Amino acid sequence: MLAAKFSPDICPTIFYPMRLWLKKWTTWEFLPFWLANLPMCGFWLWFAVRARHLVFFSNVNPTIPLGGAMGESKHDILRLLSPEHLPKTILVRGGEAFERVASALEKAGIHYPLIAKPDIGERGFLVKKISSPEALEAHLRRFPVDFILQEFLTLPVEMTVLFHRFPTLHPQKSPNRRPIFGITSVCIKEFLAVRGDGQSTVRDLMRRDARAAFQLERFEQEFPETLKQIPAPDETLLLEPIGNHCRGTKFLNGNHLIDEALLGVFQPVCEQLPGICYGRFDLKCESVGALRRGEFKVMELNGVFGEPAHVYDPSFGMWRAYRDFYRHWRLLFDLHGAQRRRGIQPTTHGEAWRFVRRYIKYKKTLGV
């Protein structure tokens, strides 16, 4: 897909909104979520017809409600992982007295700043870095639902690793001739930042880059003082410490890192996850070398709707992205079939509908 060249410095201010609008509608990674996902609805329906079940993917991860498509408890999933790969984490219930929250944080050894995220949510929904007890108390009071409070990891490299494992007793190959264990996507995240020139404000620097410009409205509401800062020449100012694409993080294709060594690190980790055949680790590590040594911390483990995040690399392109999305839907279909042969059936349509309704009701209580 063609992308409009973005340079507000060389066009009058009156054309700036038009340039930004054109960038949003002509660049694959910036397309509105609903539009970018329309083809995925087609993939889903195609494989649902073949499986004769709308939520065929729900038996891929029978340990997780609906296989991890939506509405699952992040904390329950994290508890399946070995403690060595987990950051310090606690779960606080909605409406819990803040004195008890503070006591639990102290007992767990979690200090400020910390990360607060709802136990149920997706795409960075209500995830926030919080720097003080007062800010945390206000955040929990505003959104009285279950929250995960997690230590803020200062490890410099954030990545995603998408894996699958076929449930088969055959020692070498699965029934459809795929390898039993595989990694199909590695994504390296580059956080939103600006580089100073000693003269321009953060607001002006953000306007010069489309990725940052799309975040300006949010920064005007949440961090107006940051926009007034003037970074020194060549100073890199981190704007967003949370690695979500919708918050301006750049996703880079790291599939070149997939090799036998990486498979050897993750296969034993994944084999210890009961009832999970497909998932995506969102993790941090010191370096790629540390990752290959098995030294990493998992912030989240996503289920069947964990995307192959490498496709959002700016150089990847729309057609290659949809090709890889299709391959992953086919992989889910094959995993569904392997599970069915073992007697593990998908969630019934009635039960799935009741679960979706509860999730929609939950989102409405939060005003979204």
* Residue 243 in domain: no
Q: Is residue 5 in some structural domain?
A: no
Q: What is the pTM of this model?
A: 0.89
Same structural domain, 327 and 263: yes
* One domain for residues 93 and 181: no
The answer to the question of residue 176 being in a domain is: yes
Same domain, 287 and 317: yes
Domain holding 77, by residue range, is 33-81+155-191+250-340+356-363
Q: What is the 3-state secondary structure (H, E, C) of the chain?
A: CCCCCCCHHHCCHHHHHHHHHHHHHHCHHHCCHHHHCHHHHHHHHHHHHHHCCCCHHHHCCCCCHHHHCCCCCHHHHHCCCCHHHCCCEEEECCCCCHHHHHHHHHHHCCCCCEEEEECCCCCCCCCEEECCHHHHHHHHHHCCCCEEEEECCCCCEEEEEEEEECCCCCCCECCCCCECEEEEEEEEEECCEEECCCCCCHHHHHHCCHHHHCCHHHHHHHCHHHHCCCCCCCCEEECCCCCCHHHCCEEEECHHHCCHHHHHHHHHHHHCCCCCCEEEEEEEECCHHHHHCCCCEEEEEECCCCCCHHHHCCCCCHHHHHHHHHHHHHHHHHHHHHHHHCCCCCCCHHHHHHHHHHHHHHHHHCCC
CATH number at residue 144: 3.30.1490.20
At 3 the pLDDT is: 42
Counting the structural domains of the chain, the total is: 2
Do 42 and 139 lie in a common domain?
no
70 is a domain residue: yes
Q: If the chain, 368 residues long, is cut into consecutive pieces of 10 residues, what is the mean pLDDT of each piece?
A: 48 67 86 90 97 97 94 92 95 94 96 95 83 95 93 96 82 54 97 95 94 93 94 95 90 97 96 94 97 96 95 94 97 96 96 93 78
Residue 40 placed within a domain? yes
Mark whether 113 and 262 lie in a shared domain: no
